[in-house]
Structure 1
Amino acid sequence: MAQRLLLRRFVSVTLRGSSGPVGSRSSARLPRLSSLSWHGTGPPSHHRAGPTAARGFCVSHASGGIFNVQDQADFTDRVINNEKPVLVDFHATWCAPCRVLGPRLEKMVAKQQGKIVMAKVDIDDHTDLALEYKVTVVPTVIAVKDGDIVDRFVGVKSEDDLEVFIKKLI
């Protein structure tokens, strides 16, 4: 994770010095690396890497039971202080197993009809939270009840295993 952050900073600094948009003649030697600084399906054609780069923004699902953590204060308010049990999914956009587990978790949370909620934490955006909760591998799912961690697992699980995990939390 630290190596990825260093690479991202290096690419950002290198591309910031280019005079045109990514893919222009001056930055032609690094067109593929520039996508590391953007979170989403792909950079727009006018994207410039650097601190002002656009980031994909996700909003809460309509059900209200699944949300993306925005910052440390949001995590404390919506996870630690939540009256309902919370599944915290630590994931990354570049992680293939995370893309498999995420929809399974969302489906299982929706099945519970509001008995639990799910918080999604992107470790690239919230490295401090990942370090605080000792997340070294993604996907990692932590079960929080009354502000305390009651269980956790790492990796992809089947829907049956997820159901057992969730039933213990409720």
Structure 2
Amino acid sequence: MAHRLLVRRICSLSAKDVCRLQSPAAAASFSTSLHATAARPSFLSPSRSLPRTSRRAVSFNVQDNEDFTERVVNSELPVLVDFHAQWCGPCKILGPRLEKAVAKQKGRVAMAKVDIDDHTDLAIEYGVSAVPTVLAMRGGDVVDHFVGIKDDDELDSFVSKVIGQ
């Protein structure tokens, strides 16, 4: 980041400033002003602060059994659980489509992604024998599921049905 600030500072110099930097005193002055700029970058000034939003993530990766229990089983929202694997071609196609269908619902449903190679115990517990498998959970109970790939319309219909239950 310091390198970017330095480049930005150098690029913003005019020809007159470059000529002044040829003297050692001017170079020292430039260095001091550069350190002051680096200490408090202009893009963090109060007038240009970044907007703060409290958006929840549409989807998340399950980290462990405790995380699964906390964010899926105990969730107030319905949760779609996408059991997938890195080596699975259909999973790579379904994942982004499913995320898009969930995002259309604007926070009325969440999506948990579970890699079966990392969380074999969860896959066994929920009877996942093929990937991709998607479970719809509400209040810790599986209310619906499907195995394999679906097109965008079928995914939208599936997600809407889960929300409406």
**TM-score, structure 1 normalization:** 0.63
Residues 24-60 of structure 1: CA deviation (Å, up to 9, x unaligned): xxxxxxxxxxxxxxxxxxxxxxxxxxxxxxxxxxxxx
1: CA distance between counterparts of 2:84 and 2:142?
18
Describe how 1:67-106 pairs up with structure 2 within 5 A.
67-106=60-99
CA positional deviation for 1:94: 0.2
* 5+ residue gaps, structure 2: 1-54
Give the SS at the match of 1:76. Answer: helix
State the Cα RMSD in Å.
0.9
For residue 150 of structure 1, what is the amino acid of its counterpart? V
Match of 2:121 in 1: 128
Q: Distance in 2 between matches of 1:85 and 1:63?
A: 14
Give the CA deviation at 1:147. 1.1
- The secondary structure found in structure 2 opposite 1:82 is coil
SS of residue paired to 1:121: strand
Mapped to 1, the partners of 2:140 and 2:87 lie a distance apart of 29
Deviation of 1:109 after TM superposition, in Å, equals 0.7
1:162 maps to 155
Letter matched to residue 75 of structure 1: F
Q: Distance in 2 between matches of 1:169 and 1:116?
A: 8
Q: Which residue of 1 aligns with 2:35?
A: none
Structure 1's unaligned 5+ residue stretches are 1-61
CA distance in structure 1 between the aligned counterparts of 2:56 and 2:72, rounded to whole angstroms = 16
Q: Per-residue CA shift, 1:105-127, capped at 9, x if unaligned?
A: 01011111000000000000000
Q: Distance in 2 between matches of 1:105 and 1:164?
A: 11
Counterpart amino acid of residue 112 in structure 1: Q
Richer in helix (by share): 2
Structure with more contact order per residue of length (Cα contacts < 8 Å, sep ≥ 6): 2
CA distance in 2, matches of 1:104, 1:80: 23
Deviation at 1:152, TM superposition (A): 0.3
Q: Quick one: which amino acid aligns to residue 138 of structure 1? A: V
Aligned structure 1 segments of 4 or more residues deviating by more than 6 angstroms: none
Query: Which of 95, 119, 123 does residue 112 from structure 2 map onto?
Result: 119
Please state how far the C-alpha of 1:69 moved relative to its aligned partner: 0.1
Identity over aligned pairs, percent: 64
How far residue 63 of structure 1 moved from its aligned partner, in angstroms, is 4.7
Q: What displacement does 1:65 show? A: 1.9
Give the AA of the match of 1:99: K
Letter paired with 2:136: A
SS in structure 2 of the partner of residue 167 of structure 1: helix
Aligned equivalents of 1:160, 1:121: Cα separation in 2:
23
* Offset of residue 146 of structure 1: 1.2
